């Protein structure tokens, strides 16, 4: 597969895709290819074919007492790892500050239910805004980081088939995972939320990266 980021490519502004990998640095992609499905090697990295350094069966138990294990596993994937470490725009942080921990939990559960609660349709894979979207919110960040962004990711990460609705237990588990992300990336949130004034749009920040044709 030619998805690997090599050093030369990394110097250019390269758009991170959910199939990107950086295998030499231990950041893989487990989204299965058709070939892997046919060969029954789902769970290995699609780029380097190495088996995952964690136990998929343990992950697929969806045990709410084993969230640390799931988070450590998720961070082996380049796309997830990016969302655990990328820069969070001020607007996104403010959204989380206003909601607070309890409001984020409500928003997380609702958005997970609305975006991936039903069986996959043809829009699947596009329902969760990415970091460069003007619409992106803190729940979207959490969903990408914890693989509850679409039914394809939920299927290969958590072993839940795409063609049925999620159960309450599954939604609860994914919400708890998302709240781990909130706890780690927004450790300063108050329980009930705080007043944060809107950002005045007078300074030109380089949130949008121009795509250069080269």
Our CB check for Zn ion shows the closer of 156 and 189 to be: 156
As beta bridge partners, residue 28 has: 77
Q: What is the DSSP string of 135-195?
A: T--HHHHHHHHTT-SSHHHHHHHH---TTSPPPHHHHHHHHHHHHHHHHHH-TT--SS---
Min dist CB 152 to Zn ion, Å, is: 6
Q: How many C-beta atoms surround the C-beta of residue 189 within 10 A?
A: 22
Nearest to residue 174, comparing CAs of 159, 193, 194, 195? 159
Nearer to Zn ion, 2 or 214 (CB): 2
Residue recorded with tokens 């045990």: 63
Q: Choose the binding region for Zn ion from 43-51, 60-68, 82-90, 185-193 (rule: CB under 5 A).
A: 43-51
Contact criterion met (CB below 8 Å) for 21 and 3: yes
Our finding on whether 92 is near Zn ion (CB under 5 A) is no
Residue 200 CB, nearest approach to Zn ion (Å) = 34
Cβ distance to Zn ion smaller for residue 52 or 196: 52
Q: Is 23 in the site for Zn ion (CB under 5 A)?
A: yes
Within 120-179, the residues that bind Zn ion by CB under 5 A are 149-150, 153
Stretch that binds Zn ion, among 48-56, 58-66, 67-75, 86-94 (CB under 5 A): 48-56
**Can you tell me the distance from the alpha carbon of 79 to that of 206, in angstroms, rounded to the nearest whole number?**
22
Can residue 47 be called a binding residue for Zn ion (CB under 5 A)? yes
Q: Which is nearer to Zn ion, 109 or 124 (CB)?
A: 124
**Cβ closer to Zn ion: 112 or 149?**
149
The one among 5, 20, 22, 28 contacting Zn ion by CB under 5 A: 28
What does the binding site for Zn ion look like in residue numbers (CB under 5 A)? 21, 23, 28, 45, 47-48, 149-150, 153
């Amino acid at each position: 597969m030619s998805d690997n980021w090599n050093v030369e490519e990394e110097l250019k502004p390269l758009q991170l895709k959910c199939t990107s990998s950086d295998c030499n640095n231990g950041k893989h992609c487990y989204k299965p290819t058709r070939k892997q499905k046919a060969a029954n090697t789902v769970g290995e990295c699609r780029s380097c074919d190495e088996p995952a350094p964690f136990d998929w069966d343990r992950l697929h138990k969806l045990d709410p007492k084993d969230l640390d294990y799931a988070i450590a596993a998720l961070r082996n994937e380049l796309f997830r790892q990016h969302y655990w470490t990328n820069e969070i725009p001020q607007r996104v942080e403010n959204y989380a500050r206003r909601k607070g921990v309890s409001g984020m939990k409500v928003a997380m559960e609702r958005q997970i239910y609305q975006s991936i609660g039903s069986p996959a349709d043809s829009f699947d894979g596009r329902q969760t805004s990415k970091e460069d979207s003007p619409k992106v919110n803190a729940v979207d960040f959490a969903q990408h980081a914890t693989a509850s962004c679409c039914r394809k990711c939920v299927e290969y990460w958590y072993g839940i088939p795409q063609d049925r609705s999620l159960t309450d237990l599954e939604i609860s588990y994914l919400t708890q995972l998302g709240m781990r992300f909130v706890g780690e990336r927004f450790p300063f949130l108050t329980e009930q939320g705080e007043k944060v004034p809107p950002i005045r749009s007078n300074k030109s920040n380089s949130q949008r990266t121009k795509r250069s044709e080269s």
